[in-house]
Structure 1
């Protein structure tokens, strides 16, 4: 697994400076549709002229297209053209493996804001999660821009994998490109990321992503596994195990992502610094609950367990020592996370949900496979003693 907070082994962009672009200036996320609908009687009176009228017409046409793409369950999707990044849009997209930009009119029609997640579907079998990095005004409202390597996430069967373990669960990287790297193509943007009304087993059978919430209104503690299933294997089970081992009631939230034959990480991974509760309805339902503290279980590419988060150093040391006590001497000693692994930022999910007392536990696959339950029990024991 790559490290959840910074993805150090994530492939970098290989798009060149001469990528074609039809974009104009990047926007601040304010929708042209919302602006034009704000009671302005005459665009010409405000100096907007013909361009604004044309933009309004395009937005109205786009709204019609979105409505025509309504799915069977009633949600709106949009047919789009995926193009290359370029121009003056968000600089981060040039190095992004999981992000896209889209016209504000398209985002508004779908009810999506920058920072939220969407799924992009190229075929019935090729789809992936992306974070909306920003809204940028396009000449064609249905243009979505994705980096060359990031678009290869929509062609997983074509990729040559390297540095991967069983079922591509090591550090998922790939060499070379894919047929989508040098061409524009049609796709569908769906604002619904986790599959609604689907069980974990159904998600496994259908190569899907689901979220599961076990909520207890009495709980002061939350356990998270944002990347369960085959994304960061074993972490969802650890969150459940922690809840069973911890004495007071615990609320748990987990996601489970799958892809038969491997590649679940590449398809479904959303860094927890970017994960938006607005894109995960069950997670959103607990954001107003006050949790005293909590723990989030993750996978990393490193050989050593790292304990991070914004909890006090004393608490993190207690968790580190408890984990060390259940691992064999042959394994590297767990450490307090530093630098890119520290997970101290406010936008790390566990820190957002707790009262400045979040614990982030990053573990290599060998630990999760062989000692996952023991680690979860050790964390629960350390936090039980703390209280």
Structure 2
């Protein structure tokens, strides 16, 4: 039997974490409510995003979409515009789709059954556990990035967490305080966020230090183990700011599925080997929009990093010449005045282009 399967150890871990959380837990806006919709929004926003960034978005979101039916009936453009800057836009699209599902299947009332919650777009085991434990005090375990790190150190995991997900879920399930799941899960997340941090963990302040195997073997800075990472691929992109004779700019909306789905952008594409930027832009615009343009002055060059790759956007003013614009590789097209650009949800890198255009 592993040490963490001992009932005395389990009880000690649960009690010490609860006492620590009651004294040291973070005061966060979604902690003062049991409204499952509010908690759901916070859980989704906190995926891949820091608390300090999330808080103002959380308040703006609930002000605009105070309940599930309102969110379900709202336009995707409005939703993405409010999400602008948070990144990982699939989260916003999934919130919208899930709200529509809750509205149609559950009369707008968030379900309390784990099986039903797991059918909602964008909700996996950890998000479901976070919502159900916080909103309804249900004994459902979690395993987000912070929790993986805490548990990996606790048991001195001898491989990267991603290769031991099943084992970590077993540990998470075993240690869950079924009498106080709300406090336990929130305490566990806070422990990872404030004490058991990725680098320089504050082990002397940790309520679990007595049992932590990584600390016992002085491995707390080496665990969790990491898999070797490859350098990020880099793409050179030609981007067109296309003007017509009425002083309008042509923008297109990306397909809903995939990277930056549903957002608007300035059209363009990847520069091929031995291709000039101007030739790339002309080719891409003909392929994507079916029109002829003249490439003019350089506007701005932007370097931007996504999770799995980096891009350099080479942005040029272009003049529309002929042809009827068609959304051959996008959802729709619009001619808009420069001052209207701020009304549309754009990827973060594109907002820098808008700033230069508008001045």
TM-score, with length taken from structure 2 = 0.25
- The structure carrying a bigger helix percent of its residues is 2
The structure having more radius of gyration, on CA atoms, is: 2
TM-score, with length taken from structure 1 = 0.24
